[in-house]
Structure 1
Amino acid sequence: MAAAFLGHLGGDAVEVRSAGSAPADAVNPAAVSAMAEVGIDMSAETPKVLTAEAVQASDVVITMGCGDTCPVFPGKRYLDWQLDDPAGRGTDAVRPIRDEIERRVRVLLAELGVRTP
């Protein structure tokens, strides 16, 4: 959801990479549904494994509780967003998580000087 919001709100001003330390086989259907409610289609996304190369190529790295399994490189900005895990939850439970992610993404983009709609 964070990557989808970043791409949607940041447009061409940001390059978004999304990966996880232990990605699921498919994107959470409740997350897809919750994002569709706000006009963002994540239905074609596929979970990817986080690589050291992806982290090294990034300026800002947002983690969501991966702890020591995430590679750390000097000179990168790291943000660890502690959020409820939407895994196994229905759309009603995912909505507040979605809304908090959107809020944090908007703050981050503002800090980076990216104007959002």
Structure 2
Amino acid sequence: MPDKPSVLFVCVHNAGRSQMAAGYLSRLSGGAVEVRSAGSEPADQINPVAVQAMAEEGVDITAERPKILTDEAVQTSDVVITMGCGDTCPFYPGKRYEEWVLDDPAGQGIEAVRPIRDEIKNRVIKLLGELSVPVVT
């Protein structure tokens, strides 16, 4: 893996889970990881409850927009983490793939989204350890 690893988070709409994960990884890596997120069927906007949940943690994802998953995004990433996108994610040999099984925050209230957010944070912290990148607090 290069000096600055790159991680791509993929979910269907790129509006909730993948955006929260990207927000955490950007914040907790202090810029030591190149972070991307995308969706196989991007929504029009980020889930406002996901934005609210992340704001509670001091992570601002309001400027982010859902993006379409491209082959290039996968090819230029060292680690590809999928969150319910199924078989729509292209596969390239030599990439590290992980599937994070998480509830979808779409249509959920803040009380239901907080545990999803917290699980994502825990997984991002574990991922940073696996990438040998220190957590920035």
TM-score, L = length of structure 2: 0.84
Q: How does 1:71-86 map to 2 (within 5 A)?
A: 71-86=90-105
1:57 is aligned to 76
Tell me the matched-pair count: 117
Unpaired runs of 5+ in structure 2? 1-19
Once the two structures are TM-superposed, the CA of residue 12 in structure 1 deviates from its matched residue by 2.1
1:111 paired to 2:134: no
1:95 is aligned to 114
More strand by percentage: 2
Once the two structures are TM-superposed, the CA of residue 94 in structure 1 deviates from its matched residue by 0.4
Where has structure 1 moved over 4 Å in runs of 4 or more?
none
SS state at 1:102 partner: helix
Once the two structures are TM-superposed, the CA of residue 44 in structure 1 deviates from its matched residue by 1.0
Match among 50, 59, 65 for residue 46 of structure 1: 65
Identity over aligned residues, as a percent?
Answer: 69
Unpaired runs of 5+ in structure 1? none
RMSD value, Cα: 0.6
TM-score, L = length of structure 1: 0.98
User: In the aligned structure 1, how far is the partner of 2:39 from the partner of 2:98?
Assistant: 14
More helix by percentage: 1
